[in-house]
Structure 1
Amino acid sequence: MGRKMQRGKQQIMFNYLPGKTFDFERVATIAKVANIRGVQRTDLNAVVLLRNVADEARAWRQDFRPLLRDDVLRDTSRFVLLDPQSVQSEIFPKVLWCQNRVCGRVFDFTGKDSLPKLCPTCKRGELMQLRWVKIHRCGAVQALRPPPCTQCHSSNNMALDTRGSERISSFRWICRQCGSAVPVFGGWCPECQWPDTDPNLKRMDVLVHRAGPTFYAHTVVLLNIPHRQLDPFFNLPEWPAIVAGKFIGLPEVGHKPLNEFSSVSPHSHENTGVGLSGADLDGLLRRQASGELTPEQFVKEMEALRRQREQEGLASSPSGIIMALEQRTGVQRQVWERAGQGMLDAIMPKETGRSQELFDNASAVSTVETARGLGLSRLTLVMDFPIINASYGYSRAEYSPKQCRLNPFPQDREHGGKFPIFVDQVQADALMLSLDHNRVLKWLERNGFNPKLPNGGDKDLSSKAYFVRLFDNIPLRETLGADNPEARMVFGLLHTLSHISIRQAALLCGLDRTSLSEYVLPSALMFAFYSNHRFGATIGALTALFEQSIDEWLNAIHDAGRCVYDPVCFERESSCHACTHLPETSCRFFNLNLSRSLLFGGPDPKLGNISVGYLDSTLR
């Protein structure tokens, strides 16, 4: 276009992605992003990132995401991670509208390089781009072109008459030659065969190009994504069991960092020849030299110690960890494998981040008691935490699954035709909150449920593993109903508490709710929230909240049981934009499965009455 404008990387990640239209600043021009040039990020772990994308995309049926199917997302060679550097755009649409009201003709110059400034028919009216476009839920966007006249069979004299309205239904195409008029109609999408019998879903919508439904960016957020130095660890088929063992506290895993498992062979269970250490041999030799051991006893002691070391080595090997995990929790390996990503997200802050744990602060006894009153078992501030925002695709007309197609961005020619995923890393602070699993179980029992713990050898580990099994293969991006009552209860509790925590934090730390985003880990009974805005990240807003206003914030959460729309909101769902909802950029679960009743008691639209809210004082 020959013109330039400056935008921040955060704006590019959401508002200037390929396929998005925008108004070019200071000039009356509408443009569409054609391409984003970026620097390839080879330091990030593409396997982990694509696994997160797959978890998000799985809410769509595979035929609603043909280029983001599970098999495609498992192939890292088909994607490239790009750090955006510059945006290239093109004029769109090239459909011009004469501003002379007597004329008002619309001309299609699609495919032309130069565009006239004056109407070629009346010679007086200034030509401006038509600001309406046609979109379809498959992802198609097209210019709104004048149709041929039903009488003259030509589109050269068609004018657009808005009849003084902003409603498309009031607009008319009028032929300036014969005077016939027809309504403005989007027509049927020519780019897809929409898989639905409802003909209305195959119709294109006519909208102002800057309207929200013309483009929805789809993103994933990764808190502290592992870098490439952990690639050997993720090559271990047993890695989900290892991170699960670290999460629930298996002593075999202990405080051993993940990168120390990288050098272990995937077939380590076949290696039985574990030798003695130098310290072991020195100890035996000293005992023999002192006369404590005869030569025969020395040999027997050495063999016994070697067998002991073999058993210890087997127990701390990946295969031994899997065995211990299954035996002590009663949950099968396949479940832990499917939960591996959530377990990884839960342990990474301790693995790599600088953090402060509220419950470890001996001088904050009253604050800890308040946190326990909210049913928390941990409240952690993670500082200078690398947060990766990754924009991987888009949709149009709708944002939710089953109502639109999820599309990747066009293939990047400069990187071998791979699908680009645009990533932006921000060093930010985050607050991570964990629920007390024993209190959650007690809360379920008080509300008439009977949670059946896995039959494991360790009751405490089994009670933690119950929640991993509970959310196995549960579609959390859909409304949970009475067929999954315990999952609805627990996830709704966690999700609602997350939203209320963010809303109250925004009031105290000086950031808008749109600047804070959640990260919910249901299997770990954990959620985090962080500043998704660079300004909020750099000023340390959440650090200030943790260090200066934490008591006020915790008390505000406890007192957030009312809504300005009560009793209507309370009687319907106990959830609305005024009490629990967050912007779509902040909530990964489409504001579904929320209810204040889970926290404070009251009616639930799917489960009936919740007699005991999680914040009920009798549960302390």
Structure 2
Amino acid sequence: MAFNPRDDSMNRDRGQVLYRYRPGQTFDHDGGYTVQVLQFGRDDEFDGPTLDREHLVQEATRFVRRWRATGRAFFAGADRAPEFPSDEDRLADRHYEVVVPGKVFCRIWPRVVRCASGGCGHVWTASDPRPGTDDWPPRCPTCGNGVGNRQLQFVFAHRCGEVSPMYPPGKCPRDHTRFRLDDRASRFRDFRWECMTCGFPLPVQWSCGSSSCCYPDKLMSPLLHSAGTAYVGQGLTLVNVTTTEEAARQSNPLYTAAVLGRWLGEITEDEFRRITDGNTVNVPDEVVDSIRVMKEAGLHDQARALRSRFLPVEADHLRDRVSKALNLDVESDETRGLAAELHTYRRILNLDRLGITRLQREARNPERRALYERYPSILASAGLSQDTYLVNDLPITYLAIGYSRAGFSPEEADLVPYRGRATRGAPEKTLLYAHPTEAEALLFPVDHERISQWLVRNELVSRSTLEDVGGVARWLVHQLGSSDGEALSRETRPEAGDPDLPVYELFGLLHSLSHQMLRALAVDSGYSETSLSEYLFPYDLAFAIYPNAGSDFSLGALRTVLEQNLDAVVTRAVDNDACLYDPNCMITNEGADHGCLQLPETACQSWNRNLSRWHLFGSPDGSRIGYWDPTL
């Protein structure tokens, strides 16, 4: 059969492409051969949601910094993202280009072919086939067989990101050059190349030849080309609420201080808009006098309201108040990232949304009104806020940043960038591939007071500490400080006494709540677990669940849940405390495996890390209190 790279059966949406068909990744083509993606072409006709390039690049550089920092923690002095722009490069954002992919360019790879004839089995490297002309796979050069020949499915991968076909040896010790592969053993280390002339066996191994490889161990790992560690796509899912007005605000030098000041309650929403819009007002003398008189009369709320309406906020005074309240450098990159994350959540609340109060007000009949009046108590019993909303068009962007091989994390492998030209003639840059979409989502804020009780009861923090800093949200920011959120993404549980332990446990609780609610929604929404995804807002102690790009089209399914059976979903989540593999799972895995809390990769934002039913239901020995313990 002639090689045809333009097989019309290979139709995939952008979400599937960025999950399964990235540059450097191999896959089994519907045409019957294995191919490798060379690069993406830009979608010049894309007319979807507007992308905030600066925000996406900022989040990508933060991801790379965290990867490097985690790698250095395990290997002092090592750079686990050597091909990305350096952290010290102040113009690093100029080296990045955000691309919405529209075309996929592939090649036949690997071109190592095995003869299907039982008496032959010759393995050889074939020439690159010409589309529409050359047959693929080709005939065996030794026996002439052309029926059933297959590409060899094995490759070699290295932690630096290098990949190689499983080439046969050049020759045996007796200078013979034809080999077959003996792969009847169950382990790669027992595979052998066998000389077809003299039968001499040779080991199956390959060494990394990349000039940029910094690992002392050059031996590459033999893998099936489609194995999970042969290519691990690394990226982020971001809520990307972008308007022209917001982009202008973010360029204001006072943006970070204003966002944090609004979050802390130091300034009002009107003051925030006035500061970030760069507007000032002329204040009449009688207004100033009125504010003074109100203060003297003890009318502090009225004085504050009048002041926020007319008096401009002093920039230096605002920065000082924010820095003192959060113990952060307002001008640092990490603090700007924190501000962007906090303000993203506030911008979501400005989107078109449907809440319980509105449901109660617009109920079509007494039965529905009675149902909606039960919702707040049901949510409260589960430690969720009654400010649960349906957001009609949550703007979600998946950002593909790079990939790793022979390992999933910085402890195991390097992060490799996508390099190339976004358009012909453009300079070569580090490419970030984006998939923007909009989806309805259920937004679940968590009860801050219940969270505080859980932390105190599990002796993770004292009540006085939480009260001194002004609540659990401020405490969380204090704990994370300028760490760029590293404590949230730790691979393993910190030891007792480690300052990261309380934050790690709190993130684990939020993550476990999200998974438990997603599982319950999968029963009552019509979506499967693979069709739903989570988005965590750790600083705001909230999470959202939305249909992902691979889901079947089901308009309004989550709205139906909110309008008809949210109480059943929440009750199912709280009551579903068992696992197929209990009691072993609850005891040895802290109640987290694929029979309970673990979800498919498409659904989980954090690689199923830091999950535990102990967070929700308590430990079997009673040493840890669950969030849904009745005594809370």
For the superposition of Structure 1 and Structure 2, which TM-score range results when normalised by the shorter chain? 0.7 to 0.9
Does residue 618 of structure 1 match 2:631? Answer: yes
Question: Which residue in the other structure is 2:442 paired with?
Answer: 431
CA contact (8 A) 1:135 1:397 kept: yes
Change (3 A) 1:54 1:480: farther
CA contact (8 A) 2:42 2:422 kept: no
Question: Which residue in the other structure is 1:254 paired with?
Answer: 269
Does residue 182 of structure 1 match 2:202? Answer: yes
Distance between the aligned counterparts of 1:396 and 1:420, measured in 2?
A: 18
CA contact (8 A) 2:271 2:312 kept: no
Gaps of 5+ in 1: 269-273, 285-304
DSSP-derived class of the 1:37 partner: strand
Q: Give runs of aligned pairs for residues 481-520 of structure 1, distance below 5 A.
A: 481=494, 482=496, 483=498, 484-520=500-536
Question: Which residue in the other structure is 1:471 paired with?
Answer: 480
Question: Which residue in the other structure is 2:33 paired with?
Answer: 29
Question: Which residue in the other structure is 2:180 paired with?
Answer: 159
Distance between the aligned counterparts of 1:172 and 1:419, measured in 2?
A: 40
Shift of 1:372: 0.9
Distance between the aligned counterparts of 1:92 and 1:341, measured in 2?
A: 42
Q: Give runs of aligned pairs for residues 390-469 of structure 1, distance below 5 A.
A: 390-412=399-421, 414=423, 415-451=426-462, 461-469=470-478
> Quick one: which of 126, 143, 167 aligns to 1:122?
143
Does residue 3 of structure 1 match 2:6? Answer: yes
> Quick one: which of 383, 405, 412 aligns to 1:375?
383
Shift of 1:43: 4.3
Distance between the aligned counterparts of 1:319 and 1:432, measured in 2?
A: 35
Letter in 2 for 1:410: R
Distance between the aligned counterparts of 1:49 and 1:119, measured in 2?
A: 49
Does residue 275 of structure 1 match 2:275? Answer: no
RMSD between superposed Cα atoms in Å: 3.3
Does residue 48 of structure 1 match 2:55? Answer: yes
DSSP-derived class of the 1:475 partner: helix
> Quick one: which of 157, 169, 174 aligns to 1:135?
157
Output one character per residue of 1:83-128: Cα deviation in whole Å (capped at 9) or x when no partner.
2211111111122222222222122236686678222222235443
CA contact (8 A) 1:242 1:253 kept: no
Does residue 581 of structure 1 match 2:586? Answer: no
DSSP-derived class of the 2:567 partner: helix
CA contact (8 A) 2:237 2:605 kept: no
CA contact (8 A) 1:519 1:528 kept: yes
DSSP-derived class of the 2:546 partner: strand
Output one character per residue of 1:420-465: Cα deviation in whole Å (capped at 9) or x when no partner.
2221222201122222222222222223344376799xx7945531
DSSP-derived class of the 1:555 partner: helix
Distance between the aligned counterparts of 1:54 and 1:359, measured in 2?
A: 40
Distance between the aligned counterparts of 1:135 and 1:349, measured in 2?
A: 42
Does residue 99 of structure 1 match 2:119? Answer: no
Normalization by structure 1: what TM-score? 0.83
Shift of 1:248: 4.3
CA contact (8 A) 1:411 1:419 kept: yes
Radius of gyration: which is bigger?
A: 1
Greater mean deviation of Cα atoms: 59-68 or 388-397: 59-68
Question: Which residue in the other structure is 2:297 paired with?
Answer: none
Change (3 A) 1:331 1:374: farther
Distance between the aligned counterparts of 1:332 and 1:394, measured in 2?
A: 32
Normalization by structure 2: what TM-score? 0.81
* Number of residue pairs matched by the alignment: 571
Change (3 A) 1:65 1:104: same
Greater mean deviation of Cα atoms: 549-558 or 41-50: 41-50
Shift of 1:394: 1.3
Does residue 16 of structure 1 match 2:31? Answer: no
Change (3 A) 1:256 1:541: farther
Does residue 322 of structure 1 match 2:319? Answer: yes
Change (3 A) 1:452 1:188: farther
DSSP-derived class of the 2:594 partner: coil
CA contact (8 A) 1:357 1:379 kept: yes
Shift of 1:233: 1.6
CA contact (8 A) 1:243 1:347 kept: no
Letter in 2 for 1:264: G
Change (3 A) 1:162 1:534: closer
Letter in 1 for 2:597: T
Does residue 243 of structure 1 match 2:268? Answer: no
Change (3 A) 1:609 1:406: farther
Shift of 1:389: 1.5
Change (3 A) 1:94 1:332: closer
Distance between the aligned counterparts of 2:504 and 2:595, measured in 1?
A: 22
Q: Give runs of aligned pairs for residues 526-565 of structure 1, distance below 5 A.
A: 526-533=542-549, 535-536=551-552, 539-565=555-581
CA contact (8 A) 2:524 2:569 kept: yes
Does residue 357 of structure 1 match 2:352? Answer: no
Letter in 2 for 1:431: L
Distance between the aligned counterparts of 2:357 and 2:462, measured in 1?
A: 28
Distance between the aligned counterparts of 1:345 and 1:537, measured in 2?
A: 27
Question: Which residue in the other structure is 2:293 paired with?
Answer: none
Q: Give runs of aligned pairs for residues 336-351 of structure 1, distance below 5 A.
A: 337=336, 339-351=338-350
CA contact (8 A) 2:271 2:309 kept: no
Distance between the aligned counterparts of 2:90 and 2:113, measured in 1?
A: 41
Change (3 A) 1:82 1:449: closer
Q: Give runs of aligned pairs for residues 278-289 of structure 1, distance below 5 A.
A: none
Greater mean deviation of Cα atoms: 52-61 or 546-555: 52-61
Shift of 1:344: 2.1
CA contact (8 A) 2:51 2:240 kept: no
Distance between the aligned counterparts of 1:280 and 1:366, measured in 2?
A: 46
Output one character per residue of 1:474-513: Cα deviation in whole Å (capped at 9) or x when no partner.
4322123121332133112111111111111112212222
Question: Which residue in the other structure is 1:602 paired with?
Answer: 619
Distance between the aligned counterparts of 1:52 and 1:261, measured in 2?
A: 24
Shift of 1:370: 1.0
Distance between the aligned counterparts of 1:168 and 1:448, measured in 2?
A: 48
Does residue 70 of structure 1 match 2:82? Answer: no
Change (3 A) 1:398 1:66: same
Question: Which residue in the other structure is 1:291 paired with?
Answer: none
Change (3 A) 1:73 1:562: farther
Question: Which residue in the other structure is 1:366 paired with?
Answer: 374
Does residue 83 of structure 1 match 2:86? Answer: no
